[in-house]
C-alpha cells in the first residue's frame, strides 16, 4: 500500500464511510446484542455450563486474527481483505442462527470470529488510506459514534429479539447489515491502490501469531473463572503462549515479508501508543463491567436502573472521542489528548474509590460522565498517532496490532479487577463461599472496601497510562 490514494468526491466518501461504519457496527454490536440473549439461548439449547463460551469463542477467534487481517490488507489491498472479513462474519452468523445445540453454536461462533477479526482493523486502515492524519483525527469522532450506538442499541435489540421473536434473530440481523456493508465497499473501494507486486505471505508467522495469542487469551479467561492467575490451567496457558511467542520472534526476524514486522517494535511511538491503548482498555473495560455491579450490590439498584446510569459513561466516551478528535485535527498535535484523558481518568477513579457509587444520582452521573469523557480522549488520537508514525506500507498491521492490544488489555483488565474483587471479599467474608453466595453474605462494609479497591486499582493503571502518554513525542500530523 505504498502508492498514492486517488482523490474521492464527497458523495464517494460518504458512501465509503457508510459502508465502513456498517462494518464497524457489525463488530461492535456482536458482544452487546449476544450478551443480552444468553439466557434465552441456554433455555432453548441447554448447556448452561458452556454458556460463557458463546462469548469467549468469538472474542478469542476475532482477537487473534486481527493483526493477521491488518497485515494481509497491507499486502493484498484493503478491499479484498475487508470483503472476505464481512463475508466470513455473515456466514458465521448464519451458522449461529441455524445451530441446533450448544456445541454447534460455539463452533459457529469461532467461524464468525475468524471472519470478524478484520472488520475493525481493516475498516480503520481504509480511513487511513483516504484521509491524511490531520483530517483523520476528525473522522474518528464519527467512528466512535458507531461504538456508542452499538453499546446502547445492542442490549435493547437483543432483549426485543429474545422476548418477542427468537434468539436466532440476534444473528440473522447481521445478514442485511453485512450485505449493505459489502455492497457499499465493493464498488467504491475499487479505486484504492493495490500492491504493485505479488506478495510473499509469511504463513509460518501467521501460525505462530495464532499459537501464541490463543493460549494467552485462554489463560486470561481461565484466570477470570478460577479467580487466580496462579492456578495450574492459567499458568500452563501462559507458559505455552510465551514459548510460541519466542518462536514467533525468531521466525519474524528472518522472514522475507514478516507477518508481524520487527521494525514496528523499534518504533518508539508505535510501542508507546500501544501501551496507552492497552492500559486504557484495561481500566475502561474493567470498569464498564464492574460499575453496574457496584450499582446493584452497593445501592440495591435493579439491572435496568444500573443500565440506565451507564448511559452517562457511554455518552461521555463518545463525546470525549469526538471532542478530542476535533481538537487534534485543528491543532495538528495529539499528545495533549491522552495526557489529559489519563490524568482525569486516574483522578476520577480515585474519587469514586473514596466516595463510592449509588449514594446520589447526580453524583453518579457526573462522575461516570467525566470518566467516559476522559477515556474517550485517551482512545481518540491513538489510531492517528500510530498511522502518523508508521510508513504507509505498515498502516494495516499497525492498526491491527492496536486493536489486538486493546482487546487483550480489556480482557486482562476484566480478569484482574474481577480477581481483586473476589479476593477482597473472600478475605473479608468467612466460610469459603463463592459466586452469588459470596456477594449475598458480604455486608455493606465488605462490599464498599472491595469496590473501593477495584476503583483504586483502575486508577493506578491509568497512572501507568499517564506515564506512557507523557513519554509520547508530539509529532506534527501529516497533512497529506
What is the pLDDT, as a whole number, of residue 93? Answer: 92
Provide the number of structural domains found in the chain.
Answer: 3
> Could you tell me if 251 and 189 lie in one domain?
no
What is the pLDDT, as a whole number, of residue 279? Answer: 94
> Could you tell me if 38 and 135 lie in one domain?
yes
> Could you tell me if 167 and 304 lie in one domain?
no
> Helices 361-379 & 336-355, crossing angle to 10 degrees?
150
- The single residue listed with the C-alpha cell 433455555 is 43
> Could you tell me if 69 and 142 lie in one domain?
yes
Report the candidate in 84, 59, 60 with the shortest Cα–Cα distance to residue 72.
84
For residue 78, give the C-alpha cell. Answer: 484493503
What is the pLDDT, as a whole number, of residue 2? Answer: 44
Are 401 and 70 contacting, i.e. CB atoms less than 8 angstroms apart?
yes
> Could you tell me if 160 and 288 lie in one domain?
no
> Could you tell me if 98 and 213 lie in one domain?
no
> Could you tell me if 246 and 280 lie in one domain?
no
Give the domain extent around 76: 1-201
- Report the 10 Å Cβ neighbour count for 367: 20
Cα separation of 119 and 126, whole Å? 11
Annotate 414-429 with b (16+ C-beta within 10 A) or e (fewer).
bbbbbbbbbebbbebb
CATH of the domain at 281: 1.20.1250.20
What is the pLDDT, as a whole number, of residue 272? Answer: 93
What is the pLDDT, as a whole number, of residue 231? Answer: 85
Low-confidence stretches of the chain (pLDDT < 70) are: 1-7, 36, 48-49, 51, 133-134, 137, 140-141, 148, 152, 193-197, 303-304, 430-442, 477-480
> Could you tell me if 313 and 218 lie in one domain?
no
- The single residue listed with the C-alpha cell 493483526 is 67
Domain edge (last residue) among 201, 219, 248: 201
> Could you tell me if 174 and 303 lie in one domain?
no
> Could you tell me if 285 and 344 lie in one domain?
yes
> Could you tell me if 197 and 276 lie in one domain?
no
Amino acid at each position: 500500500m505504498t502508492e498514492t490514494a486517488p482523490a474521492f468526491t464527497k458523495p464517494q466518501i460518504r458512501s465509503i464511510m457508510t459502508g465502513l461504519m456498517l462494518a464497524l457496527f457489525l463488530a461492535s454490536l456482536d458482544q452487546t446484542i449476544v450478551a443480552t440473549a444468553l439466557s434465552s439461548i441456554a433455555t432453548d439449547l441447554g448447556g448452561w455450563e458452556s454458556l460463557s463460551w458463546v462469548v469467549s469463542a468469538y472474542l478469542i477467534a476475532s482477537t487473534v486474527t486481527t493483526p493477521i487481517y491488518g497485515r494481509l490488507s497491507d499486502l493484498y489491498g484493503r478491499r479484498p481483505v475487508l470483503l472476505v472479513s464481512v463475508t466470513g462474519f455473515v456466514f458465521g452468523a448464519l451458522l449461529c442462527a441455524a445451530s441446533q445445540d450448544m456445541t454447534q453454536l460455539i463452533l459457529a461462533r469461532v467461524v464468525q470470529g475468524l471472519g470478524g477479526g478484520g472488520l475493525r482493523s481493516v475498516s480503520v486502515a481504509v480511513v487511513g488510506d483516504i484521509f491524511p492524519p490531520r483530517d483523520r483525527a476528525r473522522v474518528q469522532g464519527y467512528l466512535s459514534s458507531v461504538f456508542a450506538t452499538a453499546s446502547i442499541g445492542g442490549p435493547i435489540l437483543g432483549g426485543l429479539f429474545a422476548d418477542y421473536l427468537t434468539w436466532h434473530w440476534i444473528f440473522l440481523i447481521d445478514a442485511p447489515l453485512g450485505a449493505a456493508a459489502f455492497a457499499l465497499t465493493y464498488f467504491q473501494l475499487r479505486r484504492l491502490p493495490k500492491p504493485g507486486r505479488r506478495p510473499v505471505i509469511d504463513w509460518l508467522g501467521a501460525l505462530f501469531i495464532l499459537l501464541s495469542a490463543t493460549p494467552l487469551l485462554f489463560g486470561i479467561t481461565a484466570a477470570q473463572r478460577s479467580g487466580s492467575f496462579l492456578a495450574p490451567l492459567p499458568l500452563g496457558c501462559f507458559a505455552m503462549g510465551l514459548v510460541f511467542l519466542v518462536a514467533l520472534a525468531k521466525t519474524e526476524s528472518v522472514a522475507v515479508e514478516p507477518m508481524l514486522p520487527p521494525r514496528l517494535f523499534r518504533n518508539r511511538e508505535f510501542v508507546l501508543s500501544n501501551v496507552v491503548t492497552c492500559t486504557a482498555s484495561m481500566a475502561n473495560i474493567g470498569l464498564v463491567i464492574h460499575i453496574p455491579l457496584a450499582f446493584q450490590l452497593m445501592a440495591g439498584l435493579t439491572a435496568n436502573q444500573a443500565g440506565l446510569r451507564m448511559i452517562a459513561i457511554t455518552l461521555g466516551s463518545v463525546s470525549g472521542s469526538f471532542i478530542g478528535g476535533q481538537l487534534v485535527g485543528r491543532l495538528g498535535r495529539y499528545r495533549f489528548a491522552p495526557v489529559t484523558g489519563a490524568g482525569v481518568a486516574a483522578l476520577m477513579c480515585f474519587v469514586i474509590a473514596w466516595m463510592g457509587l449509588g449514594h446520589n444520582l447526580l453524583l453518579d452521573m457526573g462522575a461516570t460522565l467525566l470518566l467516559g469523557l476522559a477515556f474517550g480522549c485517551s482512545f481518540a488520537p491513538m489510531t492517528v498517532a500510530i498511522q502518523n508514525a508508521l510508513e504507509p506500507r505498515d498502516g494495516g498491521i499497525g492498526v491491527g496490532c492496536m486493536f489486538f492490544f486493546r482487546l487483550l488489555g480489556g480482557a486482562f483488565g476484566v480478569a484482574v479487577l474481577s480477581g481483586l474483587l473476589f479476593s477482597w471479599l473472600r478475605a473479608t467474608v468467612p466460610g469459603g463461599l463463592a459466586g452469588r453466595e459470596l456477594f449475598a453474605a458480604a455486608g455493606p462494609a465488605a462490599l464498599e472496601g472491595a469496590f473501593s479497591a477495584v476503583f483504586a486499582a483502575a486508577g493506578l493503571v491509568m497512572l501507568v497510562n499517564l506515564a506512557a502518554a507523557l513519554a509520547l513525542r508530539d509529532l506534527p500530523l501529516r497533512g497529506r
